């Protein structure tokens, strides 16, 4: 309130609010209005069909598994990028961001063709019984790709800012390198790991463009919730589509709230 020296408060704030209202709140309101116009049983029978339940389970389950894999891989990659020097390090470091920049449909297209039996990687994996296209495994693999940079990029700066002295202190107190990692480094990284996990998870829940290429989209088997929404829409069943979308929205919003609470908690604890 004290800093109203600068002009443009009214203009910038009203533009911001108008823009958000037209682009975000109004569409959200449309969605809510559509759902509210349904009776509870109408909503429930649309949102909770067997096919939908299987789609939610797959969406949330595959996202969860993928985010957990991302945490393991992301932690390892962040560690290597921060702590070690090796040839082409900067090149690999920059590549991490590719899933952010690469259109999801391109990712889906490439993955589907890499892992088919005649593909570059599929020719080795399929004989081993690893079928990474048109299966649930394919969905998880795709979501691992999509979520990886979220984890790496949240852990990396925290790992960089860790004081070397705390590790020296642990060593002087007699801890082995592994004990130092498990008891000193890992707990310090935990808030970043959880944030990265949540970001990767939230992103995976909404992912459509890449998964649609690799999953095969078989109802009850490899159909994720966004694909079901599109299928309902294409059938012209708006109410059903909106009901499924509502469940999906609630899922991702609770993730968002969770992330915020978590960040607040970790700030209080570790600042």
Which 144-203 residues touch another protein, going by CB under 8 A?
Answer: 144-145, 148, 163-177, 179, 183-184, 187-188, 190, 202-203
Nearer to another protein, 27 or 53 (CB): 27
Q: Tally the C-alpha atoms within 13 A of residue 31's C-alpha that lie toward its C-beta.
A: 16
Cα-based distances in Å from 262 to 61, 155, 160, 195: 21, 15, 21, 7
Q: Per rule CB under 8 A, is residue 238 in the interface with another protein?
A: yes
Least separation in angstroms between residue 129's CB and another protein is 18
Q: Alpha carbon 6 to chain centroid distance?
A: 39
Nearer to another protein (CB atom), residue 176 or residue 221: 176
- Choosing from 4, 39, 50, 127, the residue that interacts with another protein (CB under 8 A) is 4
130 interacts with another protein by CB under 8 A: no
Residue 24 binds another protein (CB under 8 A):
yes
For residue 138, the number of C-alpha atoms closer than 13 Å in the C-beta half-sphere is: 31
Interface pick for another protein out of 260, 261, 264, 265 (rule CB under 8 A) = 260
Which tokens in the block code for residue 147?
């979520």
Radius of gyration (C-alpha) of the chain in whole angstroms = 23
Closest CA to 211 of 154, 265, 136, 270: 136
Determine contact, residues 154/195, Cβ cutoff 8 Å. Answer: yes
Does residue number 128 form part of the binding site for another protein (CB under 8 A)? no
Could you give the CA distance from residue 197 to residue 4 in angstroms, rounded to a whole number? 40
Q: Are 183 and 175 in contact (CB under 8 A)?
A: yes
Residues between 62 and 121 that touch another protein (CB under 8 A): 73, 76-77, 79-81, 83-84, 86, 92, 94-107, 109-114, 120-121
Which of 135, 156, 215, 242 contacts another protein by CB under 8 A? 242
Rounded CA separation 20/24 (Å): 5
Instruction: Name the minimum Å distance from CB 136 to another protein.
Output: 18
Least distance (Å) from another protein to the CB of residue 163?
A: 6
Of 50-58, 60-68, 127-135, 230-238, the segment contacting another protein by CB under 8 A is 230-238
For another protein, the closer CB: 7 or 127:
7
Nearest CB to another protein, comparing residues 135 and 241 = 241
Q: Of the listed pieces 28-36, 46-54, 131-139, 214-222, which binds another protein according to CB under 8 A?
A: 28-36
Q: What angle do CA 96, 97, 102 make, to 5 degrees?
A: 115
């Amino acid at each position: 309130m004290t800093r109203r020296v600068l002009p443009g408060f009214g203009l910038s704030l009203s533009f911001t609010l108008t823009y958000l209202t037209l682009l975000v709140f109004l569409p959200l309101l449309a969605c809510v209005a559509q759902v509210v116009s349904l009776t509870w049983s109408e909503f429930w029978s649309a949102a909770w069909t067997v096919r939908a339940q299987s789609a939610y389970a797959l969406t949330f389950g595959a996202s969860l598994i993928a985010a957990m894999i991302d945490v393991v891989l992301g932690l390892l990659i962040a560690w290597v990028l921060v702590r070690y020097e090796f040839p082409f390090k900067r090149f690999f470091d920059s590549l991490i961001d590719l899933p952010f920049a690469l259109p999801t449909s391109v990712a889906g297209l490439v993955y589907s063709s890499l892992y088919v039996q005649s593909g570059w990687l599929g020719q080795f994996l399929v004989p081993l019984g690893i079928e990474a296209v048109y299966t649930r495994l394919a969905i998880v693999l795709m979501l691992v790709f999509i979520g990886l940079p979220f984890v790496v990029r949240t852990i990396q700066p925290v790992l960089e800012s860790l004081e070397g002295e705390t590790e020296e202190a642990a060593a002087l107190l007699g801890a082995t390198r592994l004990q130092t990692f498990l008891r000193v480094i890992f707990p310090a990284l935990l808030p970043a790991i959880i944030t990265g996990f949540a970001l990767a998870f939230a992103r995976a829940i909404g992912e459509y463009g890449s998964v649609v290429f690799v999953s095969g989209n078989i109802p009850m088997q490899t159909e994720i919730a966004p694909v079901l929404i599109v299928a309902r829409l294409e059938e012209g069943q708006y109410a059903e589509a909106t009901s499924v979308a509502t469940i999906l929205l609630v899922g991702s919003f609770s993730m968002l709230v969770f992330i915020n609470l978590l960040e607040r908690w970790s700030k209080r604890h570790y600042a």
